[in-house]
Amino acid sequence: MNFLRVAWAYFRIGALNELQYRVNFFVQLFESFLALATGLVGLALVFSHTQSLGGWSRPELLAVMGIHILMGGLIKTTIQPNMERLMGDVQQGTLDYTLTKPSDSQVLVSVREVRIWQTVDILMGLIIMVVAVIQIQARIGIGQALAFAAALLMGGLMIYSFWLILTTGAFWVVRMDQIVELFQGVYQAGRWPVGIYPGWLRSGLTFLVPVAFAVTVPAEALTGRLTPQTLLGAAALTTALLLASRWVWFTGLRNYTGASA
Amino acid sequence: MRAMLDFYLTQMKMALVQQFQYRVANYFYMIGMIAEPVIYLVVWSTVANAQGGSVAGYTPGEFAAYYIVWTLVRNMNIVLTPYAWENYIQRGWLSMELLRPVHPLHAQIAYFAGWKFVAIVMWLPIAAILAAVFQPEINTSPWAVAAFVVALWGGFFVRFMMLWLLGMITFWTTRVSAIFELYFTMELLFSGRLVPLALLPPWAQQLAAYMPFKWAFGFPIELLLGKYTQAQALYGLGAQVFWIALGAILVRLFWRTALRRFSAVGA
């Protein structure tokens, strides 16, 4: 599969490039620890005043936090750097260099960049998740584990499609820098299970910005709350979003006049 | 003295006019800022509802009031970022400012102060919408509102001086992000930004009383919400004056030493 070989090549180059700067690893480690400490303090404060939040116990909320950090790490490692570079390319007109390459343009703009030190967050999220699962003392069967992995993968694909659709807006609007900050603000809502939010906000976080599918649904799979309907719904939405993002991408491309025009 | 006042007013007018041009960008930024307090608001209202109506003296309505006033105070809290100093020193912007007969501090304070007026005006419709959605309850009094206006600006000056001092560290080292991030994390926890200070454990509340963070953030909010007696409010305003004065003295003390480092680093 050409797509995988291209992705692997870009990943190797990007990783080799960044691995030169080893101090950045420690900087990233420090920042991630600060963020983790803040999250844990928040959790401790909430549970100093109550026993459960919207039906979720403390270790279950710890699992949600772990998945939130993990997904955040995934976004910051692969999705965000590519989308930011795409925005820059559209503004500067340097997207031409990518479009002239003999590979699928959507694949290229999605795999070019990788920020290897952000994988610290992915690792940290995994560790927290494992600690949380041990605390829940749940016995995760094979089916549950598979459902969790599937939910995580679909959540990631949905966030990617959402980002791509949003970034393709740059073809028309050109300046989209605030969108990144807006998304980061909305993504913070994913630290808590979306069930606690009022109805209109919950719908927004499910269908407008798929944070619910990125964090809460995998958490539901891990804590045994997942219904088959939700999983099927996630699958349907993922397929729809992937197709929509590809269509939007090519429509946007037709609007791109580039540096040579 | 009159010349100073004139300088301030002119700078503020300039800032007002300049920033008003970027209405859309400013609005986008302010709207993006709403996500944070709305999340906290929903979480704590859920906790309050689960605990039979209130938590540490805050009902869901009062949480709504707290976090809506939070958005105004947060806007007033935005001052010169300590990260800007890296640019100023390396790009030589500071050399330009030093040629003026006025300390760069005044120019920056005046500019941000003028900007705040634009921010306050643009905040009003956002507050109206948030109030319509989240139904806040406020038990306040006329003197508390007046004191709030004073405390709001007091908080602005406190945070400005503190972050200016923090930024001055850049004269001595360029590896400052760790120090800055540590400061901001402490501020997040002890200022009343993450949670109202009343919800912190007692030892944390006592600690917070000795730090400058609370007086720039949580104090004005709680003042407007009617959580203080007149004596406590006066004490708080005094604390703000203390931290502003302390900041000014420290800047005065270390500015010359810092500038000597500047000629060595920037040139």
Nearest-by-Cβ selection for A189 from B35, B51, B55: B35
Interface A–B counts its CB contacts (< 8 A) at 74
| Residue A52 to residue B188, Cβ atoms within 8 A | no
What Rg do the C-alpha atoms of chain A give, in angstroms?
19
Q: Phi/psi at A56 (nearest 5 deg)? A: -105, 135
pLDDT in the model for residue B219: 95
Residues A233 and A69: beta-carbon distance below 8 Å: no
| Residue B29 to residue A34, Cβ atoms within 8 A | no
Span A3-57, pLDDT tens digits: 888 899 999 999 998 888 888 888 889 999 999 999 999 999 999 888 888 889 9
Question: Mapping DSSP to helix (H, G, I), strand (E, B) and coil, where does residue B59 land?
Answer: coil
Residues of B in contact with A178 (CB under 8 A): 25, 28-29, 32
- Selected residue of B24, B33, B36, B39 to mutate for chain A interface (largest A Cβ count, 10 A): B39
Specify if A119 maps to a domain.
yes
Q: Which residues pair with A220 in a beta bridge?
A: none
| Residue A182 to residue B28, Cβ atoms within 8 A | yes
Residues of A in contact with B57 (CB under 8 A): none
Residue with tokens 């490039």: A17
Residue with tokens 């990007």: A14
Number of compact structural domains in chain A: 1
The dihedral built from the CA positions of residue B97, B100, B102 and B107, taken in this order, carries a sign that is negative
| Residue B42 to residue A197, Cβ atoms within 8 A | yes
Span B113-151, pLDDT tens digits: 999 998 898 899 999 999 999 989 888 899 999 999 999
CA gap B244, B212 in Å, rounded: 9
Structural domain boundaries, residue B24: 2-265
Q: Phi/psi at B200 (nearest 5 deg)? A: -80, 155
Residues 6+ apart with CB under 8 A from B201: A48
B135 token code pair: 């139904």
Residues B174 and B88: beta-carbon distance below 8 Å: no
The dihedral built from the CA positions of residue B201, B203, B204 and B205, taken in this order, carries a sign that is positive
Q: Which residue of A lies nearest to B58 if distances are taken between CA atoms?
A: A49
| Alpha-carbon gap: B238 to the closest alpha carbon of chain A (Å) | 30
Residues of A in contact with B47 (CB under 8 A): 46, 49-50, 53
Residue with tokens 């795409």: A86
CA gap B241, B244 in Å, rounded: 5
B246 C-beta neighbours (distance < 10 Å), count:
15
pLDDT in the model for residue A66: 94
Residues A69 and A128: beta-carbon distance below 8 Å: yes
Specify if A259 maps to a domain.
no
Residues of B in contact with A41 (CB under 8 A): 189, 194
Specify if A209 maps to a domain.
yes
List Cα–Cα distances, B26 to B121, B125, B187, B245, B255, in angstroms: 12, 14, 24, 31, 32
Closest CA to A129 of A191, A66, A40, A217: A66
- Is residue A261's pLDDT more than 70? no
Residues A107 and A11: beta-carbon distance below 8 Å: no
pLDDT in the model for residue B30: 80
What Rg do the C-alpha atoms of chain B give, in angstroms?
20
Positions of chain B with pLDDT lower than 70, given as ranges: 263-267
Residue A226, class by beta-carbon neighbours within 10 Å (0-12 exposed, 13-18 middle, 19+ buried)? buried
Span A54-99, pLDDT tens digits: 889 999 999 999 999 999 999 999 999 999 999 888 888 888 888 8
Nearest-by-Cβ selection for A192 from B36, B43, B182: B43
| Alpha-carbon gap: A58 to the closest alpha carbon of chain B (Å) | 13
Per-residue pLDDT band at A1 (split at 50, 70, 90):
low
Q: Does A37 touch chain B (CB under 8 A)?
A: yes
Q: Which residues pair with A90 in a beta bridge?
A: none
pLDDT in the model for residue A142: 85
pLDDT in the model for residue A174: 65
CA gap B127, B221 in Å, rounded: 14
Number of compact structural domains in chain B: 1
Span A108-131, pLDDT tens digits: 899 999 999 999 999 999 999 999
| Residue A46 to residue B33, Cβ atoms within 8 A | no
Residues 6+ apart with CB under 8 A from B233: B144, B147, B151, B223
Specify if A260 maps to a domain.
no
| Residue B42 to residue A31, Cβ atoms within 8 A | no
Residues A234 and A154: beta-carbon distance below 8 Å: yes
The torsion angle over the Cα atoms of residues B2, B4, B7 and B8, rounded to 10 degrees, is -110
Output A142 or B263, whichever has higher pLDDT: A142
CA gap A151, A145 in Å, rounded: 10
Span A160-211, pLDDT tens digits: 999 999 888 877 876 677 777 788 888 988 889 998 888 888 888 888 888 8
Helix %, strand %, coil % of chain A (to 5): 80, 0, 20
